[in-house]
Amino acid sequence: MCGVLTKNKRRLNTITLRWLASACCVRHDRGVARVLVTEEIAERGLDRLRAAGHEVDVRLGLNGDALIAALQGAQALIVRSATNVDATVFDAVGGLLVVGRAGVGLDNVDVEAATRAGVMVANAPESNIVSAAEHTIALLLAMARNVPQAHAALVAGRWERSKWEGVELAGKTLGIVGLGRIGKLVAHRAIGLGMKIVAYDPYISAERGRQLNVDMLPLDQLVATSDFLTVHLPKNKETRGLINRDLLLKAKPELRIINVARGGIVVESDLAEVLRDGIIAGAALDVFEQEPVTDSVLFTLPNVVVTPHLGASTREAQDKAGEVIADMVQLALAGDFVPFAVNVNASEANETLKF
């Protein structure tokens, strides 16, 4: 494969060339690479890397200078969401070939800096979609029936049947902001509960929406129409602060909002204000602008349900994430096609590998 690099380099971008060249050297050394793992992932995933002959170096809780020091001599890094892999890391570490994110979101990995440094970034985008969709439905039901509030009252010695009257989901309209992998699963499950589904997603056509039994609407109209609103978007420059006071003022007072996506998409101060003022009826949040968080004005409101970022916290999702990202890292180290690479033209690389 090494001889192919010169022959085909005009068809490959910089990161693809560096990846192939580095992987070529790794393979020449009998496939042995050092893989640094800084957060807990499924042991079965680590075992796959060990079985391939790689050295797996597990050092939990590294960030900043400690992370940079530990990365010296490593060809691969595997993280979840707590390890901050920023431009400083990529600038300071030579020889790093691939960063694997055991999960979906890439908030903690500077993909642009990785690309400039010629480092592949891969994730496991389908590993937690079922768990996230199910957690959305769990929060939807908990919020509609005031389950956490009623539980807290009863264990505190108060029998308050009339105080915690809820609402049915059947016949209600669920608005989905972002009809991607998770949004579609939520729609399917909510339809099974008898809900009408409307959605906003600039990348989904009205025809595709009809195929999914979903009416596609502009965002303003979606908010004004929905009884429940659930957010399923990545956090980026376009989506940060998307759900704000101006938008929520268009809602009907019965609206209840759910966020199991990313903190920062919903402006928390605006949400607290409209909840206090009775502009909307409730909220259920699994994610926050700053995490971990144990002190928020939202936690003081009786019509808010919160969980500590549990969307992907199932045994099945963690097993899938660990196994998938181990496979992606192993493929990258072998110089093979990496289907979940996010910053390399995998089709070009795959074509080159066929020579």
pLDDT tens-digit map of 133-166: 999 999 999 999 999 999 999 999 999 999 999 9
Any catalytic annotation for residue 232? Answer: no
Buried/exposed code over 300-337 (b: 16+ C-beta within 10 A; e: otherwise): ebebbbbbebebbebeebbbbbbbbbbbbbbbbbbbee
Q: What pLDDT was estimated at residue 5? A: 34
Strand partners of residue 277: none
pLDDT tens-digit map of 326-338: 999 999 999 999 9
Is the same domain home to 139 and 268? yes
Q: What domain range is 134 assigned to?
A: 129-306
3-state secondary structure of 172: coil
Say which CATH number the domain at 6 has: 3.40.50.720
Q: What pLDDT was estimated at residue 26? A: 46
- The answer to whether the CB of 60 falls within 8 A of the CB of 81 is no
Is the same domain home to 121 and 134? no
pLDDT tens-digit map of 295-337: 999 999 999 999 999 999 999 999 999 999 999 999 999 999 9
Active-site option among 80, 101, 309, 323: 309
Q: What pLDDT was estimated at residue 261? A: 97
Any catalytic annotation for residue 55? Answer: no
Is the same domain home to 110 and 142? no
pLDDT band at 16 (very low <50, low <70, confident <90, very high): low
Is the same domain home to 190 and 86? no
pLDDT tens-digit map of 27-77: 434 468 999 999 999 999 999 999 999 999 999 999 999 999 999 999 999
Q: CA 231, CA 214: separation in Å to the nearest integer?
A: 15
Total of domains in the chain: 2
Q: CA 219, CA 216: separation in Å to the nearest integer?
A: 9
Torsion on CA atoms 291, 296, 301, 305, rounded to nearest 10: 10
Any catalytic annotation for residue 126? Answer: no
Is the same domain home to 97 and 170? no
Active-site option among 291, 315, 316, 323: 291
* DSSP letters spanning 202-252: TTS-HHHHHHTT-EE--HHHHHHH-SEEEE----STTTTT-B-HHHHTTS-
Active-site option among 262, 268, 315, 316: 262
pLDDT tens-digit map of 83-105: 999 999 999 999 999 999 999 98
Is the same domain home to 333 and 253? no
- The answer to whether the CB of 289 falls within 8 A of the CB of 264 is yes
Is the same domain home to 149 and 276? yes
